Structure 1
Amino acid sequence: KRLTEAVKRVDRFVDPIVVVSPRAGVYWTPNGNHRRVALDKLKADFVPAILVAEPNVAFQVLALNTEKAHNLKEKSLEVIRMYRGAEAEQPSSTEEDWAFQFESAHLVTLGLLYEQNKRFAGGAFAPILRRVDKFLKTSLRRGLEEREERAALVRAADETLAAVVAKVKKRGINHPYVKNYLLARTTPLTKARKTLPSFEQTFKKLKENLDDFDVSKVRYDEIQRSSIMLAPAAAE
């Protein structure tokens, strides 16, 4: 919204997006989608772009884009877009083949979650996801199906988490770190564990722990202390 208003006020746009053309008449931007959307909303006659001749370079752009750090949501959405693009062009390749471009396996799962819910609390779930979400050895085509299943498990846990948060708020406790606090106390992953459970086991157990969590034991001062060293989920 801010970008759209700025372009409208200045009445010009001189920062070209990067595009590749996998086939004639088709253009895709690996870096510049926000700008493209802004210009589309303003019904611009054209979008200034730099055309990269080699389509494969599109999947390197996120790794090269170090000047402007993406937040977790932006990075995850970029990764799932790259994933879909790679799956369309090279369906038999695996996630491990694209490990450098995707950066981290949990970003793929988060990308699916953010696609459905732009306000998903990815920052709260990221510490758990980073530990159990690994790149798959199957093809991207089959991998996407499993990713959807993983996203569904996280979504189910998030729905249960939302219900617990609502109970905590009914007790008059409101804090932006509540989700992080609850997940930290219900996670089946402990630092002492040498062998991690599978992704499915982790999130099914997390959901069970959330269902059984006693909100009467939650104290505001404990949440406050826990939030000192870490950013709240609302910052994502």
Structure 2
Amino acid sequence: MVKIIKDALILCVITVAAGLGLGAVYGVTKEPIEKVNYETQQNAYKTVFENASEFKDLPDFSSEEATKIAADNGYGDTIENCVQAVEADGSLLGYVITVVSHDGYAGDIKFSIGVQLDGTLNGYSITDINETAGLGMKAKEESFYSQFQDKQVEQFTVTKTGSADDSEIDAISGATITSSAVTNGVDAGLAYFRSLLETTGGELLNE
């Protein structure tokens, strides 16, 4: 009995020590991780809106409400964030919308799209993806993402037979699931953009 109690106390001490150690590690690494994540996101914003001087948080943005708008338009993706792309003189250029697609072959795919006020899509920039190397990971390559750049359409569709117009996207060979996941995510972002434009009238919203 005494041995059982002793072993239990030792195990308890080890557990507490391990917990304190993990807490200390988290405290040390939290800020650097947050900094890296912030820089990664800012780089994504700049990639899809090169001529923007600043990115301002959209006041009163709600991911839940934005995601519902996407859902009402038939998309199951999450609209995680939206910022205003602002010119040096303070005028609004458009929006950068961050989308999480849940339909990737190997899990979620997170990316940001830049949309000008006239609805022209500048393109997208992926910040988190775990698709198959040599297949789905090609969604990060120019040969695929360039198909979305400088296009002004309401909705994109994936094709395996060669695109015939601006709204059609050639699927990545052997990675149709990834191609569709990214394309649907872009469409979800565009659906939210249209709703946002109707609400704001293309005006800069101040915090």
TM-score, normalised by the number of residues in structure 1: 0.24
Structure having the higher Rg:
2
Larger helix proportion of the pair: 1
Larger strand proportion of the pair: 2
